[in-house]
Chains A and B, each alone.
Chain A
Amino acid sequence: MRAPHPLWTLAVICALVSTSASAQFGPLGSILGKARSAQKIGEGLRNINEQEEIKIGGDLAGMLLGAAPLLKDPAKQHYLNTLGGWLAQHSERPGLPWKFGIVDSNDFNAFSTPGGHILITRGLFDRMRNESELAGVLAHEIAHVVRKHHLQALQKGLREQSLNEMRNYFSVSTGSGLGDRFASAMLSAGKDMYIRGLDRDDEYEADRMGVVIAARSGFSPYGLVGVLQTLTATTDEKGYGLHNRTHPLPLDRLAHLDAAMGTRFDSMQGLVDDVPSFVTLRNPPPIAAPPARTAKPKRPKRP
């Protein structure tokens, strides 16, 4: 038998030292421990596994729900989940544990977090003209999750965090000091992301993917176009502020969709605009009501 190559011997010794160092080697272990805790996440967030992605997304969804709780309307919530679940089946990640919720806010907005958590506001739900519009919004959010746009945005804020802390966050369920440090850094980066918005090109990509996911699911791909048109015609910023500041201008999004869609969908048959199950649930606000100064909402007077 040949003696093992010296490099192999060295490798084995190193492995032994690094795995058992903290337990057996006293001072040497603490040095190695410090070196490890000084290691940065760097690009590490891009490479997390699905369970880890779901954990991050759960905390971010919990944070958004801390800002606006779920609407107490089981019929609407169930409907949203059957629609969203159907759309998600036509994405590249049908196996994620997709969850959809309407939050009790009159604002107009939609959010998604890693791992398949999608939240829309009651104000958005009630302002949809038809089901294909809602499908377009949900499909846009599904696309953000499928393409992991949030992880890319979070990565920028977290690359200097400790890798060790992140590992603790993922491996320990609650109450680990190291894990909690990562959790608070991650939440802070997440808040920045939801306040500043995602990358502009990621929004255009989610629009292009959203119309296709809607069409794959049997809906008119022009639902999302209708929603963007609503936004272009909304001069009153009340309730639209955060959405508008975190997305490219709706006219630009329409121009990008127009350029990408062209006549691609002209030959598609049997696409659905609206269905009775949605019509009965929607509760649209009075159209173009003047700013709420009077107690009674007035009907708009238009030619």
Chain B
Amino acid sequence: MRSTRVILIAAIALLSWTAARANERGVVIRAGDLFAEPFVDAAKIGPLASNQPVTIIERKGGWLAVEVAGRRGWVRMLNVRLEAPARPAANTAALRTGSTGRTVATGVKGLDEIDIRNASVDRDQLAQLGQLAVSSDDARRRAVLDNLKEAKVDYLKPGKVK
């Protein structure tokens, strides 16, 4: 019983990985090594140069499985910058703002500044939100079911940004 369940979960998880957004593209931002497996002490397949383009096949923890110039291996996630996918045409609804140089969409339906500015407090919705809360026991039950393992981890100090 238990083993079939584990196999089923593993199969679904594997499916989800392979069905995940395959073939994202990225660029190496820091020269380093391509590894055979997603571990720091795994065998090295070869060097990766800075600015080298990669195709992302899979994600696992802090690692990306990539294809680079015919080779396939693992690289640290933070050593790669994701590239925007190629687009057929620019979004004509966007305009550039002078101060920041970032684009701002106009006439977009969603949750923007105007929606917030015009909003009033919705007590019914707030009450519904309150109904959604679950007990910490319920939260723990699901975590156990999903095999989430608690760990003691200290907060990080800010690092030196180059």
Contacts and interface: CB of A to CB of B under 8 A. Distances in A.
Contacts of B89: 290-291
A275 B13 contact: yes
A272 interface: yes
Interface footprint category on B: 35 or more
Contacts of A277: 142, 145-146
Contacts of B116: 63-64, 67, 191, 194-195, 242
Contacts of A157: none
Interface stretch (A13-21, A24-32, A37-45, A255-263): A255-263
A235 to B, nearest CB: 4
Interface in A52-101: 58-59, 61-70, 77-78, 80-86, 89-90, 94, 97-101
Contacts of A255: 161-162
Contact of B20 (A62, A100, A129): A129
Contacts of B160: 259
B20 A130 contact: yes
Given A66-B122, A68-B115, A216-B152, A238 B91 contact: yes
B103 A276 contact: no
A134 interface: no
A239 B108 contact: yes
Given A258-B159, A261-B156, A85 B134 contact: yes
A86 B142 contact: yes
Interface in A116-158: 117, 119, 121, 123, 129-130
Nearest to A72: B128
A70 B128 CA distance: 8
Given A68-B115, A290-B89, A82 B134 contact: yes
Contacts of A221: 62
B36 interface: no
B52 interface: no
A12 interface: no
A233 B83 contact: yes
A86 B157 contact: no
A211 interface: yes
Given A187-B121, A261-B156, A272-B148, A78 B134 contact: yes
B62 A63 contact: no
Contacts of A109: 111
Contacts of B78: 225, 254, 257-258, 261
Given A69-B122, A212-B154, A303-B23, A82 B138 contact: yes
Contacts of A258: 78, 159
A59 B121 contact: yes
A237 B103 contact: yes
A238 B133 contact: no
B136 interface: yes
Contacts of A260: 156-159
A291 B92 CA distance: 9
Nearest to B41: A266
Nearest to A293: B89
Interface in A193-249: 194-195, 204-205, 208-209, 211-212, 215-222, 225-226, 229-230, 232-239, 241-242, 244-245
Nearest to A90: B150
A103 B148 CA distance: 27
B12 to A, nearest CB: 4
A70 B112 contact: no
A268 interface: yes
Contacts of A238: 91, 93-94, 105, 108
5 closest A-B pairs by beta carbon, nearest first, are: A259-B159, A218-B148, A85-B139, A107-B110, A65-B125
Interface of A: 58-59, 61-70, 77-78, 80-86, 89-90, 94, 97-101, 103, 105-107, 109, 117, 119, 121, 123, 129-130, 187, 191, 194-195, 204-205, 208-209, 211-212, 215-222, 225-226, 229-230, 232-239, 241-242, 244-245, 251-252, 254-266, 268, 270-277, 279, 284, 287-288, 290-291, 300, 302-303
23 contacts: A62-B125, A65-B122, A66-B121, A70-B132, A78-B134, A82-B138, A85-B134, A99-B129, A107-B111, A191-B117, A195-B113, A204-B158, A212-B153, A212-B154, A220-B61, A238-B93, A257-B78, A258-B78, A260-B158, A271-B61, A279-B15, A287-B21, A302-B25
